[in-house]
Structure 1
């Protein structure tokens, strides 16, 4: 029985000079299709050494290699796999058989592994341009975490052991404010920076008038309450909002130091705040307005909720600006930790998994000759489980498959015909937030730069309780 997507499957197996993206649900044979395309490339004389099949885990890579070998040997023996029968209904012709026999002897030259192993091999080849030791070992996740934690611990103890901390020392300040949770907050932030090494805090944008918008929105709420002639107890939230206005009033001229920023970020708790945070809760006074407003109760409730929403938005904006200033200071203090971690890796001649990706991207970006020779070496890239490929990994792939003189952002590059084949299902994304964005870019549904997508760092609710945004590159 002919499959409903038979034409698409046939194209994926036989249209070898086009770049294709195959999106299909779980259990539909995407990996088998990728393995079949590799075999068809071999049948058409593509050098096994120029093919790289990349998947998500070492286990999956081993299974993919085994499936490719199985298809290849079964075809040579005259037993055409069902998955390849649409492309080889009468079996391979004499020339294809000869090509497959030759490829079978050199199948070990085909690259089949994870993106990290692929990048490791790439960096060993171009170690001079990458400025790394060609014999550098790769730390596994646990080893890298242990080394980073040890470096952070040494830095933290050193900062707290100072007999006379400098005036306004932010590390000493946060440790005094919350000695139990401060260490965990800074450690989590350091790990965030290690994980998002391209992230940079937004520049501080506080000025002498930072609280004006919030104060004016609360005053407008109060003027509206006075106009509708209702007693203040009809909406106690306005009283709480006015208390918040007084917390900020006159505190931005001159701009506060770090201690002042911490105080501003932690106003005294009020009933309009969510428990354990400085964030405002949703509006909960509609019932009161219905009671005091009589026939106009519903309309007044809508208007009150609208006013509260504007106040809440202005408050969140103000607190976000304060949080970004604090995080910017923390980020500068943690530069020392990040530099010590990089120094340790360089002296020990080791790399972590992120180094493999970021260094490969930098080498391909910054060295056109490396990009050209590597692209010639791997002229056919096939990527399985592409929904879990993040933008850094995708950029590496697109740099290798893109046209030589195309300097546009990775997701807008022109690709050389037939050089890229990807399969996946965005609904199966393990890292759905990052991967869905990558998938949308590849499929043409989104064309914005990663720089325009902020990453959010959330602090401990007890210690910080705010969110700050970072530009990522």
Structure 2
């Protein structure tokens, strides 16, 4: 079988081109000719299977890659004198996921609750709106929650708290939450210090007869500090900052890697984790209030400008397809085949979009290489690649 350039395909590449029905995931390394396979699959799907170019959804990672794929498909069809089909490639759905979402939202702007002439925010404007949204959220939550909010801000600082709220906002939205919020945590009781006391005493007794090496001396000192601190009562808020910092000791030599010493390390880690969980449960309502106030202020600022950001494109398109069965059916019926390149850099939200657009059928073809997942772009999750059906070495 010849590829789009006229050169023979390898057996694996040819097999990937021939298998044009059913779910297929091609695990393709860099330089393996995956674009040639996609081009040849697209061309043969159009010519041999009779699928119109605009009934194939081909998703790429960048606009540059989309342009290259479109150009190569056009040239491949012209090679077979399929001029009419080549001309129709110009209107085909070969684009990034954001461009595909934008195209859908432009068509259904009113239904999606958008101004028909909505704009895409540039990075500079987005940063400015985010800064304003944080100031609004900070004032609002401090007024509502009083000392509880003020204590959190004082402990972490305005800038660090704002950065964390913004990070949570983006991560949760990329995970699929249109209006992000934190999940509730069960109330955490103060951890029991007894297991740590017991483990500390056992390790200290064992090391009392060990040779006086530097590592053993350091371990004894750490255990003595732990015993001394555990003798003092701990308040409801837990140990003060730095309480745990010098209670561990190195894992060097047999004397300090015994069962008793390792049990002490485990007990120390569990005690510290227990207090972290308790503090997190207390802080969660404040952070959740800040997060939701920030999200609402940022959303209102975007709406006032009749604008959306890149995450909005995916979220609003997903919500549109979820909530409007007729529109969802229209696109699920439109796309007979779906191809997704660089699938290892897809997020769970994007995978849901592929499914809503018809990719839950048996005609979803994905291409990628988990070892090339270096972008971590917009919270991509390589696990969606590893869990995908139809996996094969196809290119």
TM range (shorter): 0.7 to 0.9
Alignment match, 1:150: 132
Question: What is the match of residue 187 of structure 2?
Answer: 206
Hey, what does 2:62 align to over in structure 1? 57
Number of matched pairs? 371
Given the alignment, which residue of 19, 23, 33 partners 2:23? 19
8 Å Cα contact 2:59/2:96 also seen in 1: yes
Q: Secondary structure at the match of 1:201?
A: coil
In structure 2, which of residues 342, 352, 356 is the aligned counterpart of residue 385 of structure 1? 342
Look up the match of 1:39. 43
Shift in Å, 1:194: 2.5
- Show the counterpart of 1:416: 361
Contact 2:101 2:313 in 1 (8 A): yes
Q: Distance in 2 between matches of 1:248 and 1:49?
A: 71
Counterpart of 2:223 in structure 1 is 238
Give me the whole-angstrom Cα distance separating, in 1, the residues matched to 2:387 and 2:228.
46
Alignment of 1:21-420 (within 5 A): 21-44=25-48, 45-76=50-81, 100-156=82-138, 167-170=146-149, 172-177=150-155, 182-196=157-171, 197=173, 198=177, 200-207=181-188, 209-212=189-192, 215-225=193-203, 228=206, 230=208, 235-242=220-227, 245=230, 249-251=234-236, 260=237, 264=238, 267-270=240-243, 273=245, 281=248, 283-284=249-250, 297=255, 301-402=258-359, 415-417=360-362, 419-420=363-364
Aligned 8 A contact 2:56 2:336 in 1: yes
2:387 pairs with 1:441: yes
* Deviation at residue 324 of structure 1 after TM alignment: 4.4
TM-score where L is the length of structure 1 = 0.69
**Relative to 1, partners in 2 of residues 1:439 and 1:28: Cα closer, same or farther, differing over 3 Å?**
same
CA distance in 2, matches of 1:152, 1:298: 49
* Distance across 1 between alignment mates of 2:181 and 2:385: 24
Structure 2 CA distance for partners of 1:58 and 1:324, relative to 1, 3 Å: farther
Superposed CA RMSD in Å reads 3.3
Q: Which has the higher contact order (CA 8 A, sep 6+)?
A: 2
Encode CA deviations 1:341-380: one digit per residue, 9 max, x unaligned: 1112222211110011111112222322221111112222
The unaligned stretches of length 5 or more in structure 1 are 77-99, 252-259, 275-279, 291-296, 403-414, 446-473
In structure 2, how many angstroms separate the alpha carbons of the residues matched to 1:371 and 1:132? 18
